[in-house]
Amino acid sequence: MHIGTTLSQFIIEETRLYPGASGDFAALLNDLTISCKFIGAQVYRGALVGALGSAGTDNVQGEVQKKLDIISNEAILKSMDWTGHLAGMASEEMDDPYAIPQNVPRGKYLLLFDPLDGSSNTDVGISVGTIFSILKAPVAGRDAELADFLQPGVEQVCAGYALYGSSNMLVYSTGYGVNGFTLDPSIGEYMLTHSQMRIPEDTSEYAINMSNHRHWQKPVQRYIDELNQGTDGPRQRNFNMRWVGSMVADVHRILCRGGIFLYPFDQRDPKKPGKLRLLYEANPMSYLVEQAGGVASTGTTRILDIDPQGLHERVPVILGAKNEVERVVAYHRDSF
């Protein structure tokens, strides 16, 4: 009986259609989905298996780790380190790149990931997710070096996320549009449910943490103030604010129905110009947004053009509907 297009079928058919795709790459993606299914199961079971709450440790950024952060990180490492497809891995939760075990062949790809984005929300049942980015190793067949991971986002060969919310969804792109798959628990397969996702160029929804208003630069304050003025202001129409506090959930909403997401430059600490990590969050999400017809910028620079200076570099992020992001960029240009 025909049950629709599975993720496995879609990946294999995609490798046949596009030049440069390989069986190794298809197998890599399939292996990665195993860990996403496992992590989703742990999130949904939560307190039933004692997976909620703090682990009592901090990650490399000094943030308190949740138990599910550690469980998710370990799940991806152990699902992927034996496959022979990778030359190395880097995680938001780890100081340094993860070395592939000595007895495993070195592959031609690098995997970078945020194992559980929005994990501070797990205790209150809000959507969280896994974000991933795949790069080609500069030299295949040897251990990856730190510098190998420091590639601009435009060099990504694949990016995506798994969303653990009302359902377990996997959304990804290999540079030929964005497609979404929903896990069917009855057969244990991700099924194609959102084909060629697109972001409308205009929107009336925006996502931002308004409590930080006083810390933003003038261009962002100007933009948000205009939106809040609605029909009484220069935009002459009303806008609605949506803020989940989990990037993967906010970006998923934008991919499904449009909008603009802003986590702008924050003037409180000049050493941390942004909160979101370039390699683990900003690059993969910007790749998806651009593939869906949107724009992603720091306010002054296209995110995918940034040359990373370190594994845990942070950047401001403004992404989503083309016309709205370009308006924010224009305000920055006028201001500076």
Annotated binding site for substrate: 117-120, 209, 275
Distance CA 154, CA 114 (A): 19
Confidence (pLDDT) at 1: 47
Low-confidence ranges of the chain (pLDDT < 70): 1-2, 18-22, 47-65
Annotated binding site for Mg(2+): 92, 114, 116-117, 281
Confidence (pLDDT) at 153: 98
Just give the CATH number of 205-334. Answer: 3.40.190.80
Confidence (pLDDT) at 213: 96
CATH architecture assignment, domain 7-196: 2-Layer Sandwich (3.30)
Distance CA 23, CA 102 (A): 23
Separation in Å, CA 266 to CA 32, 59, 207, 314: 34, 22, 16, 11
Cα dihedral sign for 65, 127, 306, 332? Answer: negative
Confidence (pLDDT) at 336: 72
Confidence (pLDDT) at 262: 98
Same topology, domains 7-196 and 205-334? Answer is no
Confidence (pLDDT) at 50: 60
Distance CA 258, CA 199 (A): 5
Distance CA 180, CA 289 (A): 13
Q: Are 140 and 107 within 8 A, CB to CB?
A: yes
Task: Centre a 10 Å sphere on the Cβ of residue 268 and count the other Cβ atoms it contains.
Answer: 8
Annotated binding site: 92, 114, 116-120, 209, 275, 281
Burial class (CB in 10 A: 0-12, 13-18, 19+), 107: buried
Domains of the chain, by residue range, sit at 7-196, 205-334
- Say what the pTM is: 0.94
